[in-house]
Chains A and B, each alone.
Chain A
């Protein structure tokens, strides 16, 4: 599938109807989502025929992109039932089979590194400090191949240090810097639309011996 085609399909997906600020629900736009998954597939072969988990999947944009690029098994995990309902409808519209789980990612119970690749647009931790780091920590425990994630560029050094030192990561690389459009979703947003600089990261987890926990 071509990048433009992927972006077009993702652009038709339904997004949050009533976003919740405490969960930092910002939709992952089709521009960023398509580039993120396209890179994972075409530069690293981390998507097609793989087991892919989408952490904090929201309306399921990244998971849908993974499925469209040929992931064999896609799991979307989110704490919010309304988001999961939309994600389910989105998957149905595109005739994709995506397994959804309602769970707080930081409390996820999982048997070892049985997922190949985790993709995520985590809460940036603006409202709840450290939320993105909790996601990253869990992702690196269940993935065997790679974790793709978006984090604010301003936190780059901190992310790298934590990933390598504390989170079971053998490498942490910024693939590119992107502009994340934050539309005026919430009342506290003074400006109509702002964009913030975010990094697209690729982390490689250390693979532990044995089948799991």
Chain B
């Protein structure tokens, strides 16, 4: 699972008012190279929750992203390269996503998070 997916997914347990962002527990992280697409990054940038993204990247071992950023950063090739790498090339392969309010763990196995809810959580 890419960090881009993590930046969109939230916990939807009954009674939880803000299930985003899910905390990441790292078991194993893998890197997969992807072709660089600057237009895609520019389009995606305004939709990203930056703080959650920076924290997620740090958790999986990548600390090169700036803490604060505005759209002028998109002019910099160096920034775009880092953004590209963190957004699309780092995958949480094994571990868990944890609901920020309840602490409920959603296990991630072979890159697939299991977000199925129990009957009493719906």
Q: Does B60 reach chain A (CB closer than 8 Å)?
A: no
**Size range of the chain B interface in the assembly:** 20 to 34
- Which listed residue (B7, B88, B110, B116) contacts A111, Cβ 8 A? B7
| Chain A residues in the interface with B (C-beta under 8 A) | 49, 51, 72-73, 75, 79, 81, 84, 88, 97, 99-104, 107-112, 114-115, 142, 211-213
Judging by beta carbons under 8 Å apart, are B40 and A101 in contact? no
Bound: A88/B115 CA distance, A: 17
**Cβ–Cβ < 8 Å partners of B7 in chain A:** 111, 114
Bound: A102/B47 CA distance, A: 23
In angstroms, how far is the closest chain B Cβ from the Cβ of A20?
15
**Cβ–Cβ < 8 Å partners of A111 in chain B:** 7-10, 20, 49
**Cβ–Cβ < 8 Å partners of B40 in chain A:** 49, 72
Judging by beta carbons under 8 Å apart, are B113 and A101 in contact? yes
- Which listed residue (A99, A108, A142) contacts B2, Cβ 8 A? A99
| Chain B residues in the interface with A (C-beta under 8 A) | 1-2, 4-5, 7-12, 18-20, 32, 34, 37, 39-40, 43-44, 46-47, 49, 88, 110-117, 122
**Cβ–Cβ < 8 Å partners of A104 in chain B:** 116-117
Judging by beta carbons under 8 Å apart, are A49 and B8 in contact? no
Other than the known A211-B46, A212-B49, what 19 A-B pairs have Cβ atoms closer than 8 Å? A49-B37, A72-B37, A72-B88, A73-B4, A73-B88, A81-B114, A88-B111, A88-B112, A99-B5, A102-B112, A102-B113, A102-B115, A103-B115, A107-B122, A108-B12, A109-B115, A111-B8, A211-B49, A213-B18
**Cβ–Cβ < 8 Å partners of A102 in chain B:** 112-116
Bound: A114/B52 CA distance, A: 15
Chosen A-B contacts, 20 in total, with CB atoms closer than 8 Å, are A73-B4, A73-B88, A79-B116, A84-B112, A88-B110, A97-B32, A99-B111, A100-B111, A100-B112, A101-B113, A102-B115, A102-B116, A103-B116, A104-B116, A104-B117, A107-B122, A109-B12, A110-B8, A111-B20, A114-B7
**Cβ–Cβ < 8 Å partners of B114 in chain A:** 81, 102
